[in-house]
Amino acid sequence: MAREINIPKLGMSMREATLVEWVVAEGAKVDEGQVILVIETEKTKWEVEAAAAGFVHILISADPDRKEPVGQVVGQIAETKDELKILQAESPAPAGAAQAAPAAAKAPAGKAAPAAGGRASISPLARRLAEEHGLDPAQIKGTGPGGRIVKEDVLEAIEAAKKAPAPAAAPAAPAAAQEASDLETVDGKRVKASLSLKTGMRGAIARHMQGSLAVSAQLTLTGEIDMSEVKRVRAQLLKKEEQLGVRVTYNDIFILALTRALKNFPILNASVIGDEIKVWEDIHMGVAVAMEGQDPYTSGLIVPVIRHADRLSLVEISKAAKELAVKAREGKILPDDVTGSTFTITNLGGAGGGYGYGTPIINQPESAILGTGAITDRAVVRGGEIVIRPIMTYSLTFDHRVVDGYPATLFMSRVTELLENPGLML
Amino acid sequence: MLRVYRLGLTDYGQASRFQERLTEARIKNEVSDTLVLLEHPSTLTLGREDDLRHLLVDRETLTRQEVAIEATDRGGSITWHGPGQVVGYPIVDLKRRGRDIHKYIDDLEEVLLWVLADYGLSGGRDESRVGVWVGAEKIAAIGVRVRRWVTKHGFALNVNNDLGVFSLINPCGITDRGVTSMARLLGRRLSMDEVRDRIVARFTEVFDFELEVSPEGTEG
């Protein structure tokens, strides 16, 4: 009985592989465990060994530019020479695969018809679709070339499955009890979910934050800014929203003030590179944007960059920020959109935390980050009187290797001055 | 248990034979999982037969610049190795690690991403291409071969090396993105020993190894 040679599944997420090289020729006699084929997936070459002793019959020739799905039958191992001849007659080996084989072997290079009794050929897209819907490709009828299962076939099968009567529901066990007993337990505590700290956005954030704390000397300065004037200006801008073509946010106004203040205090717009502090001429503002996490438990974070923000007007800043935020949320951000910032602003007030402070972590390789809190009505003293004013808190984290407390304080005084007297930014 | 060999500057062919012996021994379970760290003399290595099309200069130019060419049996396409680049060859038995070569590649990337983070560099993956990137530029290449679930070949991280040599080729067959190094991004040359220490530390962490004291002397 002939054995099939399949593309093995070498990982959970593996779907396809390239046939790099048939190590043996058509009809070659092989021993069990002998390497007969090399395939490649994700820059890894894998040596496929003969599952049994016999004679190799090649069905699909090696082609470094084509991918075959996992499970695809690419060859067979016949037990005897006679069986080999039968297999060769049933489905001839592709041209070129067979120096040692009879000259009769002639088939269109590449595509081989599905072997008799073998698993059906299926396109990678169709396979993925089938897996996602829990369908067994062997149960799907292929209508593509040579009976290959294509996307349409799977879609049809999905529809058919929907129409089929649902299996009778199992008697409802006490759901909570059932679930509780299934939960993993670690140190006597039950686990609701296990999330990877290594992969995806969580991994990127973890490395970036831990790396930042590891390489710099960070400390945070906090204070309050009276937002009465900014509020008034913003109210006016909102009235002109249609004319401006954009809804200006508080964050946009902060970015305007920051870029102007950074012009006065360039040391806050600097990076440590090697043994030097590079004070940047260009001002590229990173704007932290919260995103939905990959699971129900965590959030995500991305920092798109507004380039040359100091050269932009408030409306231009507003438009650029919105565009980047939309791109970020739609997952259309490019590497260039999130690299090269020289200072970062993060809005901590948006989540409704009320009056409060934080200690943001510097977005490396920058030397400072400003966190802004919510704007809340507070009792403050003006001219010897207690009055109610809209107050915003801020938290400026800076790298003490680069900036001392004095210039950091002067910088925030300038930002405060600009926000309390927006006319200065005209 | 992980064994670490630090071989220093080693000829590519010599290192290949050493790897081959280690892989054979690992398959027979005669040695534990092993990480070989070394540097190669300037060498272009080819992952597939038609890789020479990614060579942008003629052979004479290579000879003049003292760049060797070696065919290899690893995955991936053409790349360059040379002094100042940390090359790591993990000989790891994946049978004990869930038999998943994609996860293995992912873990190798993870080790390198953490090493970069140790230096304040924020690297990333490209969903569609194996390797480690900073921004749009490639900083580390990965190419592996697996036999009976035991790995060989591995990764190459650009630390202090000359990047000019990459202009002789389309590295990994990629024509639209550049390469970079840690030294270029950090603006200073790094201690290779320190980088290797970080790699060993992060490797043992990501792969959850207990470290065995490095064997004395070097082989090859």
CB contact under 8 A, B122 and A211: yes
CB A70 within 8 A of CB A9: yes
Query: Scanning every residue of chain A, which has its alpha carbon at the shortest distance from the alpha carbon of B104?
Result: A11
Q: Which residues of B touch A340 (CB under 8 A)?
A: 135
Domain borders along chain A are 3-118, 120-162, 217-425
Q: Span A42-69, mean pLDDT?
A: 90
Higher pLDDT pick, A278 / A173: A278
Q: Which residues of B touch A41 (CB under 8 A)?
A: 75, 101-102
Any catalytic annotation for residue B172? yes
Strand partners, B179: B138
CA dist B115 → A208, A211, B90, B208 (Å): 11, 9, 16, 16
Over 90: is that where the pLDDT of A247 sits?
yes
CB contact under 8 A, A199 and B147: no
Fold of domain B2-206: BirA Bifunctional Protein; domain 2 (3.30.930)
- By CB atoms closer than 10 A (0-12, 13-18, 19+), residue A56 is buried
Least confident span in A346-355, A406-415, B187-196: A346-355
CB contact under 8 A, B120 and A365: yes
Q: Which amino acid is at A350?
A: G
The class (CATH top level) of A3-118 is mainly beta
What does the pLDDT read at residue A171? 43
**How sure is the predictor about B108, in pLDDT bands with cuts at 50, 70 and 90?**
very high
Q: Which residues of A touch B101 (CB under 8 A)?
A: 10-11, 14, 41-42, 44, 46
Q: Span A324-351, mean pLDDT?
A: 83
Among candidates A35, A42, A45 on the partner chain, residue whose Cβ is nearest the Cβ of B74: A45
Q: Span B162-186, mean pLDDT?
A: 81
Q: Span B25-43, mean pLDDT?
A: 94
Q: Which residues of B touch A339 (CB under 8 A)?
A: 135-136
Q: Residue B108's closest CA among B85, B91, B121? A: B91
Give the number of C-alpha atoms closer than 13 A to the C-alpha of residue A177, restricted to the C-beta side: 3
- The 10s digit of each residue's pLDDT in A192-218 is 888 877 766 788 888 889 889 988 999
What does the pLDDT read at residue A166? 45
CB contact under 8 A, B75 and A45: yes
Mutate to test the interface with A, among B28, B50, B77, B102 (most CBs of A within 10 A): B102
- The 10s digit of each residue's pLDDT in A74-98 is 999 999 999 999 999 888 888 766 5
Among B86, B130, B172, B200, the active-site one is B172
Which parts of chain B fold into alpha helices (H)?
A: 12-27, 59-64, 101-118, 182-186, 192-206
Partner B contacted by A23 (CB < 8 A) = no
* Helices B101-118 + B192-206 axis angle, to 10: 130
Q: Span B48-69, mean pLDDT?
A: 81
* Helices A228-239 + A250-264 axis angle, to 10: 120
Over 60: is that where the pLDDT of A133 sits?
yes
What is the share, in percent, of chain A residues with pLDDT greater than 70?
A: 80
Q: Residue B19's closest CA among B78, B84, B88? A: B88
What does the pLDDT read at residue A105? 34
Higher pLDDT pick, A231 / A170: A231
Higher pLDDT pick, A29 / B177: A29
Tell whether ipTM is more than 0.85: no
CB contact under 8 A, B146 and A10: yes
Tally A–B CB contacts below 8 A: 122
CB B40 within 8 A of CB B81: yes
The class (CATH top level) of A217-425 is alpha beta
What does the pLDDT read at residue B172? 64
- The 10s digit of each residue's pLDDT in A382-396 is 999 999 999 999 999
Over 80: is that where the pLDDT of A140 sits?
no
What does the pLDDT read at residue A116? 37
Among candidates B76, B136, B186 on the partner chain, residue whose Cβ is nearest the Cβ of A336: B136
CB contact under 8 A, B143 and A43: yes
Least confident span in A17-26, A246-255, A267-276, B206-215: B206-215
CA angle A342, A344, A348 (to 5 degrees): 175
Considering only CB atoms, which residues of chain B are within 8 Å of chain A?
Answer: 47-50, 73-76, 99-107, 110, 113-114, 116-124, 130-131, 133, 135-136, 142-148, 186-188, 206
**Rounded CA separation B21/B152 (Å):** 10
pTM, 2 dp: 0.60
Mutate to test the interface with B, among A43, A46, A197 (most CBs of B within 10 A): A43
E strands within A62-117?
Answer: 67-69, 73-78
Q: Span A300-328, mean pLDDT?
A: 92
Partner B contacted by A64 (CB < 8 A) = yes
Mutate to test the interface with A, among B106, B129, B188, B190 (most CBs of A within 10 A): B106
Residues A120-162, CATH architecture: Irregular (4.10)
CB A286 within 8 A of CB A343: yes
Over 90: is that where the pLDDT of B164 sits?
no
Strand partners, B157: B86, B140
What does the pLDDT read at residue A193? 85
Partner B contacted by A12 (CB < 8 A) = yes
CA A277 to chain B, closest CA, distance in angstroms equals: 10
Q: Which residues of B touch A42 (CB under 8 A)?
A: 75, 101-102, 105, 130
What does the pLDDT read at residue A121? 63
Mutate to test the interface with B, among A207, A279, A344, A399 (most CBs of B within 10 A): A207
Over 80: is that where the pLDDT of A229 sits?
yes
Over 70: is that where the pLDDT of B5 sits?
yes
